[in-house]
Structure 1
């Protein structure tokens, strides 16, 4: 009876999670995969085939947009790591115990507002009549207002600001588990700060680094609002192509194909990154 009760409790605990995964993730992905295989041969007539994928690879603009999105997502991930690692290290190893919670809360503040509000905040700052341009004119650093929006640099800034928290959180969690005795031993053995950082801190933090990179890369590659609002017509983001196929052109087959390809391509990038660093999902995002 006790074993049956424990098994029933386990099933009841995991049932909501299993339903959430199945109904909101697995089934929609299977449906998108099925739609991507449908080839329209007439009015409300379809055949199963790979024609939609052939059309994608036959159109250079679609391939180039996917590769450009992946490259910029990798760049955003690298910048988020460079900027987020010192913050995470300070919170985990340097800040006093009392101030850690306050510092972590400050990192969470941007999540209190939606992506849309944050994107419009950057627009207010960087537009031609925005705060930054007006301040530069007032200080005499520039002769006339400058439009700072609608370029790749602005899109990267907005994306880094959006995803950097998801880099900091796993880094803080990993670095907090590092024994300070390891650092003291490194210095006592004659290691410089750079050597200790390279030989002790980075290897220990590698699971957190990889986990943060995976999360930030996937979030960046799947972002829609920030690239569209900050990049404007000059933005060439793959999620915009997906939206255009689904909503503008009503071509659900092509939109589903683009969605499947984005998922597969980003998953391959993550897999390659895991192999390159010698990590695995079990030691990074699934680490206890």
Structure 2
């Protein structure tokens, strides 16, 4: 893309006109909401009828930012926001979550492996992206930063707002109103998906990705399910096949893995990274 200061236009920029409008004399006419510039009128932009425009703006803001910052491909980490770092386990930690705590470090190590590969290739590919929150998301962003890489956080406004974790690269920290647009950005550049134990949100992201690939709406990429015991306990994949609601071949759309090294090896093999480095 052409940087903003290098573009030439015969028309005045929007920010200049916004300043000029603010300098207008204060009269009944200029104080009326009708007089506001449409792009500078938040009341107008928040109307229900403007929902299609807001959807487009959410898609474009992040897309243009990632283009400007040179992000060509990503590795997405999905997983539970409630999974605690092992160092923060305490007597009040529910036993179920305490049992999942080791996955925090596995996610952290996997993100570090992806980020080292990213740095080796110039930092434009395999950039780690998470939902930007706590738990597995924090682990992913943390693992990337600890090896010196940039990392993306795609936040979402929730009733109980969770602030972005402190490991997200500030200029790559985005916030969304629409779940649908956020999920598009998780997948638009995805070179691999790593899914760790989690709840409804994790399930939603996993099964939407599987559906897109199953139906041919998305190119096939590695989908790694970390922790076979967890996933087989919470989802009876074989029962889906036996019932005939999915095909036996659909079970090949994802792989169970247990370690960060095993997970990254599958991604590297899929993208033939070792072969590329040898050439």
TM-score range, shorter chain: under 0.3
Pick the structure with greater CA Rg: 1
Higher RCO structure (Cα 8 Å, ≥6 apart):
1
Structure having the higher helix fraction is: 1
In proportion to residue count, which structure has more strand?
2
